[in-house]
Structures are given as C-alpha cells and as structure tokens.
Structure 1
Amino acid sequence: MKMGTVWDRTAEFLTDNIAAILPVALLAFFVPASIEGNFQAAMDGASPGLILALQLIQIAFGALTVWGTLAVTAMAFDNADSENATKIAGKRLPAALLVAIVCFAAILALLLPIPAVLSANGVDVVAIAQGRDFELSTGLASFVALYLIAFVILFLWLGARLIVTTAVIVREGRWLSALSQSWKLTRGLTWRIIGVMILFVLLAWVSWLAANTVFGSVFALIAGGDRAGVNLAGVLTSIVVAAVQTGFTVLIPAFTAKLYLALTAAMGLGESPATA
C-alpha cells in the first residue's frame, strides 16, 4: 500500500466535494475555532463565573468538532452524501466521545509521573500550572526533558497505530473495540504513518505560525492590538487562523477514511457499509 495513493484519493475527494463539505466544516470547525481564539483574552481578569461559562462552551465546541470529524469521515466513505453523513455522525458521536475521553485519560496517566516527581522534590506544581516563575535543579530538568522526549516518541507510535480509530467507529459502528481494530489494521505500517504524521504536523504548525504572526502583526498595526482583553486585532487574527486550522482539520478525517479503505482492501476485508 502506497501513502501517495491515499493522499491522491484524499485530494480527489476534497476537491470534488468541497461544496458538500463546506457547510459541515464551517459549522463544526471554523466557527468554534474563530470564537475560541479569543477565549484566553476574555479569561484574563474575568470573574470565576465567566471563566467557568467559557470552559463549558469550550467543552461543547469540542463535542461539535468531534461530530464534524465523524461527518467528514462518513462523507469520505459515502461520496459526500452529506445528509446521511450527518445522521451517521450523530449516531456515532457517543462512541467517539467515549473513545476520546479514554484516550485523554490515558495521556494524562502517562504524563502523571512528571508532576509526581516534581512534587516529591518540593517543586510548586501549582505555580507551574499558573505560569508563575519556578526553579528546577539540573537533575529534575534533565528528567523532565528526557521523559517528554520519550513521551513524544511513544505518542507518535501510538498515534500511528490508532490513526484510523475514528474511521473504524464510523464504518463499523464499534465503541472501544475500535482501538484494537485500528491497531490490527495498521500493523506493519507504523513508520510510514509516523512519517506522514510528522510531515502533516510540520505543515500545519508552519501554516498556523505564519497566519498568526503575519496577519496578527498586520491587524495589530491597522486595528491596534495593545489593549488588554478582547480587541479587534485579536478577533480578526483568530478568524484568519481559524480558516487555516479548518483546512487542516478537514484533511485529517478525509485522509484517515481513505487510509482505512486502503488498509481493509489490502487485507482483503472488503468495504462493509456504515449502518445508519
């Protein structure tokens, strides 16, 4: 199986069905991203009640983004049948949220040794979380650095093995077993998938940085960005950054859906249709 072929099929799907994908992308990706871009500024000096409300909105936006990811995945399977895709996304949403929560909990568990070791050595972890100044000994700093390097390597490896989990949820209607199914399908392709992931992350990061820096500077000069809190320059910048982010966010589920189809075809599993 060639990754180039998967990319070609992904690009063909996106270019041929942009009109059907756009409404879902705007609702599920662009709107939440453009609004959330101003949340940090709004939280500065805000009351606890407002901060809690914004955090709840972020959770709701997260669920909406998961729904959009499921919808685009279903569209990639069903040739952009948007009506059926949105219905499937709604039915698969509980399973996808459960898997996301389990994966998030696993990531937190893997990172737990860092604050545990820091606390055991008298470091104020709360100060670190709040962004205040703190000091680390050479030994502790080395431990944190080495642990984070190992974590990133493990994260990339696990991410490669679980990359088609969402596609499995949409196509096969699985819940937590979607993780093991993705693990099975990606066997033997880990390094090729990691290469694609690294390339994608670099492209997304450079694009995001360029949009945030270039347009942020321009809007700050034109609209003024020196005022604390939410301002016009920040709002305009978040809109541009959200547009760039939306493009990459749409690409992920489309690619993983086409990758899933290629993997199942290579293993002779066929293409079982998604149940409504």
Structure 2
Amino acid sequence: MVKMGTVWDRTAEFLSDNIAAIVPVALLAFFVPASISGNFAAAATNAGAGLKIVLQVLQILFALLAVWGSLVITAMALDIASERSAANIATRRFVPAVIVSVVMFAVAFVLVLPIPGILASNGYDMMAIANGEPVAIASGVAWSVGLYALVLLAVLLWVIARLIVATPVVVRENRILSALGESWSLTRGAALRIVGVIVLFAIVSWVAGLAAQTVFGVIFALVAGNDGDGVTLSSVMTSIVVAAVQSAFMVIPPAFTAKLYLALAAQAGLRHGDAAA
C-alpha cells in the first residue's frame, strides 16, 4: 500500500535537492504571471471593453504558461530528464496535457450546470447573479442548491483524486486521453488517502495566501497609502508578496503527483508480478 507520508518525503527530498533548477521555472511560469495578474481586478476597474479583453487574454496565456511550468517540474520529478531536457519534454507534451485538462474541466463544468439550471427554472435572473448583483433566493431553492453543491464537492474531490496522476502519465507514457483511464486504474484503493492530502494542502495553501494578502496588504497600505481605485503602489507590492507565497505552493503539486505516480506504478507492477507468479 502506498503511504502518503512516504510520497511527501520523496517530494520534499526532490524539491530540496533540485531547488536551483526549480527556482527559474517557478519565477518564469508562476511568480511573474501571478505578480502581474494579481493587479488585473484593480486594473479592470472602470476600464474599457478593449482593456478588459486584453486582460482576459493575458489571464489565459498566464494559465497556459503555468501548465508548461508544471510539466517541466513533473518531468524533472519523474527522473526522466535534466533541467534543460525537461523543458523540451514539457514543450512536446504541452498540447496533450492541455487537451486532458480541457476534458477534465469540461466534465466538471457539466457537473456544475444543474446549479444554474435549478436557479433559472425557478425564475431567477442568471445574468444578475453572474454580475454579482444581490438576489434574494427562497429558502427551499437555497437548500436544493446547497445540498447539490455539497454532493458535487464530494464527487469532484473523488474524481480529482482518481485522476490526479493523469499529467505524469501524459508526460512519461506519451498518452493523451488514455492517461485518464490509466490514472483511474492506478489510484484504485488510494482515493480516500489522496482526498485527505488534497483537502489538507488546499487548506494550508489558502490560509497562507490569505494571511499574506491580509497582513502585507494592511502593512503596505499604511506605508505606501491606498488612495483611490485601480492599481496602486500598495496593491502592486501586495500582489508581489502574495505571488511569492503562491509560487512556493505551486511547485509542490506537480512534484507530488509525479512521485505519487511513481509509487502507484511501482505498486501496480508488484501486483501484476505477484499475479503472474
């Protein structure tokens, strides 16, 4: 049985041993985009339609760059490439990885659709809700939406746990959509433990990001001021600090999933070997 503690130890060992190679990737793929995009909400305040479109396009490009950076770290953590060749592997496997990510996102989107469906069928203005306008929702409808959301959250966590090693499969085994089936097979019997890791990591990273946003946001607002709407010196400084914290956490998932894939694949190999014997 694969132990999550052992996988975490191997992840930490990889990160500490390869910090010099990981930092440039994290700076390019995670830190710089996060530092810039952290001010997009403020920049969009009172912005024209053209600028908003540009910001949305940049947001998509930054997300794609983050995918590429994650693939680089995955290739390194799989012990199949050096720092330079890992970038080449990430570039070659970029399109398959994006295809797999889009399919997973599409499935999640379909599962979420019943929520706006429930609201729309009860006569609520979905455009007003999407624009953040206050809408009074009847208690019965709210309970229905809330119950479905809780069930959906549990289902999504389970599905994410079963598909968590799809990216390492794409990188190492040169698969595309079949990587989803392989991940589902490898994670059989380990989903609950993986869900626990996902929840714990999500809580820790969220708290760290919120603390950085709140504490440094207040400090920089006092030091540099925070006059008016839009991008300010304090908001820029805060986004840089928050981006640094986010980048530190963003290097962990690709390394962890790669080490988890290696452990699960080794376990599957032993199981098949015992069956053949």
TM-score normalized by the length of structure 2: 0.95
CA contact (8 A) 1:20 1:80 kept: no
Corresponding residue number in structure 1 for 2:34? 33
Corresponding residue number in structure 1 for 2:21? 20
CA contact (8 A) 1:21 1:80 kept: no
In structure 1, runs of 5+ residues without a counterpart are 271-276
Q: CA deviation at 1:77?
A: 1.4
- Provide the secondary structure at the position in 2 that maps to 1:195: helix
- Provide the secondary structure at the position in 1 that maps to 2:188: coil
Q: CA deviation at 1:91?
A: 0.4
Q: CA deviation at 1:228?
A: 0.3
Corresponding residue number in structure 2 for 1:144? 145
CA contact (8 A) 2:118 2:145 kept: no
Change (3 A) 1:261 1:224: same
User: Could you tell me which amino acid in structure 1 is paired with residue 46 of structure 2?
Assistant: G
- Provide the secondary structure at the position in 2 that maps to 1:267: helix
Q: CA deviation at 1:24?
A: 0.6
TM-score normalized by the length of structure 1: 0.96
**More deviation, 104-113/185-194:** 104-113
Q: CA deviation at 1:226?
A: 3.6
Q: CA deviation at 1:263?
A: 0.6
Return structure 1 stretches of 4+ with deviation > 3 angstroms.
Answer: none
Structure 2 residue 138 is matched with structure 1 residue 116: no
Q: Give per-residue Cα distances to partners, 1:130-187, cap 9 Å, x unaligned.
A: 0111110011110111111111101110011011111111111110111111000000
Corresponding residue number in structure 2 for 1:250? 251
How much is the aligned-residue C-alpha RMSD, in angstroms?
1.2
Corresponding residue number in structure 1 for 2:188? 187
Corresponding residue number in structure 1 for 2:238? 237
Identity %: 58
The CA distance in 2 between the partners of 1:188 and 1:127, in whole Å, is 43
Corresponding residue number in structure 2 for 1:221? 222
Aligned length: 270
Corresponding residue number in structure 2 for 1:274? none
The CA distance in 2 between the partners of 1:263 and 1:2, in whole Å, is 10
Corresponding residue number in structure 2 for 1:58? 59
Corresponding residue number in structure 2 for 1:68? 69
In structure 2, runs of 5+ residues without a counterpart are 272-277
User: Could you tell me which amino acid in structure 2 is paired with residue 13 of structure 1?
Assistant: F
CA contact (8 A) 1:157 1:194 kept: yes
Q: CA deviation at 1:78?
A: 2.3
